[in-house]
Amino acid sequence: MTPLAEDFGAQGDAATRARWMALVEKTLKGQSFDDALTITTADGLTIQPLYTAEDGVAVARDLRARDTDRPWDLRMRAAHPDPIRAAKDVLTDLEGGAASVLLQIDPTGVNGVAIGSADDLGKALSGVLLDLAPVALDAGFLGPKAADWLGALAKAAPNAPLAFHLDPLTAFAQTGVSPGPIESHVFNAATVATRLSATYARASLFLATGRTAHEAGGSNVEELALMTAAALAYAKALVRSGLTIEEAFGRIALGVSLDGEYFTGVAKVRAAKALWARLTESCGVTVAPTIEARSSRRMLAKADAWTNLLRLTSAGFAGAVGGADAIVLDAFTDAIGLPTAFARRQARNTQLVLMEESHLGRVADPAGGAWYLDSLTDQLARAAWASFQAIEAAGGVIKALESGLVADAVAKSRTAQEAAYADKSRKILGVTVFPNADDKPPEVETPDSSAFAVQGPDVRLPGPDSHCPALTPVRFAAAFEGA
């Protein structure tokens, strides 16, 4: 260790920093320190090359004890259109180390399991012990119907750890239209949720997430702001349906998207907790957050798809270190097609290695006290809170979506990020840098979804359809992969 480094380790005072700056400026040979070494993120946040105690900020810490053997819920997504095949995948995942399942539902079978009735759901969950294995749903506008089906399958077992994940706002934001007024869908979901909450004391009811903003190319701040606004809207709907404000917040889970930038991902999960604390405190309650972290789909590449394993590992690392309660990692082949058994095993084992061999869950808030990560967490939380306040000033999340306030901000961020990839100031491994000339795409499954399509129930509610600019998902590598 050099004398200068020793001074920083022992003191970190202004004089030592000035000496360090003098050496840096000499090394840069006339270049601007800010231009050469300071990074500005897509959110407009500043990352410095050096942090000392002077940069320390007070960040609320989540020091809840975690199960050292199972510090988070390893959750696997099931989306094969055939309910019988989906059930086989689910059981294989649970037997292979997964703790829970996220069932993606689409009666057409194009974007999920072809489920249109309680019987179909029963086929997809055949053999799953619902009082032991948590089951989460992803059903869009079909959410209230699917929640009732899942409630019936659980046979009123009060301790069944269900996650109904009602989330009509995400469906509205992504498609740009709702079958009937979106306000009615939110209230209908809250009514169903409140009724089910009386039977299932451990069930989470709503998922509040800004995933649509992220997958459409938005920034971390825009995602977190949309998440916070959705949480408030769902809490209000649950209170209107009969729950207390504390019960309402206690039944809402937060959803966070994680890409390959693991330091930013760690800060994002911690910022989500800070935003939740600020929101619940503002509403006069104290409720611990529950966070489900999902890997980003916009970061996946088709070219040299094996490199997706690195991105997914980084996302899982960020979720674990950030303190997510449940982590969902996609298969590394998802940009190409549905995963084979091998790809699903890789998705499971990535988390198992992080959990059981790297022991990432054995320390509560391992990022706490790191000046850089505390600073980044604080910057993200403050910027997202300001953006959330702008959404509320516009009349709330529904009005902000309908007016294009959210979509305009996301479009601006997407354009900036696409430009950064185009000029290679941001790089995509295996695509824009170090492309693999001998790339052989991994195997995927390509079932005929039309063979499994079913007629789902009508989800239309009385009244005119609501409309908003759609937050259409993007995949950044697609622009460089050709046809």
User: Would you place residue 1 in the very low, low, confident or very high pLDDT band (cuts 50, 70, 90)?
Assistant: very low
For the segment 160-180, the average pLDDT, to the nearest whole number, is 98
Round to whole Å and give the CA distance between 56 and 121. Answer: 50
pLDDT grade for 54, boundaries at 50, 70 and 90: confident
Give the integer Cα–Cα distance in Å for 425 and 423: 6
Total count of domains within the chain:
1
Residue 430's φ and ψ, nearest 5 degrees, are: 85, -5
Q: Residue 59 pLDDT more than 60?
A: yes
Q: 6 lies in a domain?
A: no
Q: How far is CA 206 from its chain centroid?
A: 14
Do the domain assignments include residue 459?
no
19, pLDDT greater than 90: no
Domain-located, residue 53: no
- Record the tokens describing residue 258, joined without a space: 């994680």
Look at residue 53 in the predicted model and tell me its pLDDT: 82
- Mind listing the pLDDT tens digit for each residue in 391-416? 999 999 999 999 999 999 999 999 99
Is the residue at 451 inside a domain?
no
This prediction's pTM: 0.94
Residue 480 structure tokens: 């460089």
What tens digit of pLDDT does each residue of 338-390 get?
999 999 999 999 999 999 999 998 888 899 889 999 999 999 999 999 999 99
Give a yes or no: residue 354 inside a domain: yes
HEC assignment per residue over the chain: CCHHHHHHHHCCCHHHHHHHHHHHHHHHCCCCHHHHHCEECCCCCEECCCCCHHHCCCCCCCCCCCCCCCCCEEEEEECCCCHHHHHHHHHHHHHCCCCEEEEEECCCCCCCECCCCHHHHHHHCCCCCCCCCCEEEECHHHHHHHHHHHHHHCCCCCCCCEEEEECHHHHHHHHCEECCCHHHHHHHHHHHHHHHHCCCCCCEEEEEECHHHHHCCCCHHHHHHHHHHHHHHHHHHHHHCCCCHHHHHHCEEEEEEECCCHHHHHHHHHHHHHHHHHHHHHCCCCCCCCEEEEECCCCCCCCCHHHHHHHHHHHHHHHHHHCCCEEECCCCCCCCCECCHHHHHHHHHHHHHHHHHCCCCCCCCCCCCCHHHHHHHHHHHHHHHHHHHHHHHCCCHHHHHHHCHHHHHHHHHHHHHHHHHHCCCCCCECCCECCCCCCCCCCCECCCHHHCCCCCCCCCCCCCCEECCCCCCCCHHHHHCCC
Q: Which CATH number covers residue 89? A: 3.20.20.240
Percent of the chain scoring above 70 in pLDDT: 97
Report which residue type is found at 473. P
394 and 403 Cβ atoms separated by less than 8 Å:
yes
In this predicted model, what pLDDT tens digit does every residue of 176-230 receive, in sequence order?
Answer: 999 999 999 999 999 999 999 999 999 999 999 999 999 999 999 999 999 999 9
Kindly state whether residue 449 falls inside one of the protein's structural domains.
no
* Residue at 474 is within a domain: no
Average pLDDT over residues 457-483: 94
448 within domain boundaries: no
Q: What is the pLDDT of residue 9?
A: 46
How many whole angstroms separate alpha carbon 331 and alpha carbon 479? 21
The residue whose two tokens read 């997958």 is 215
Which residue range(s) make up the domain with 248? Answer: 71-400
| Pairing of the two strands 204-209 and 162-166 | parallel
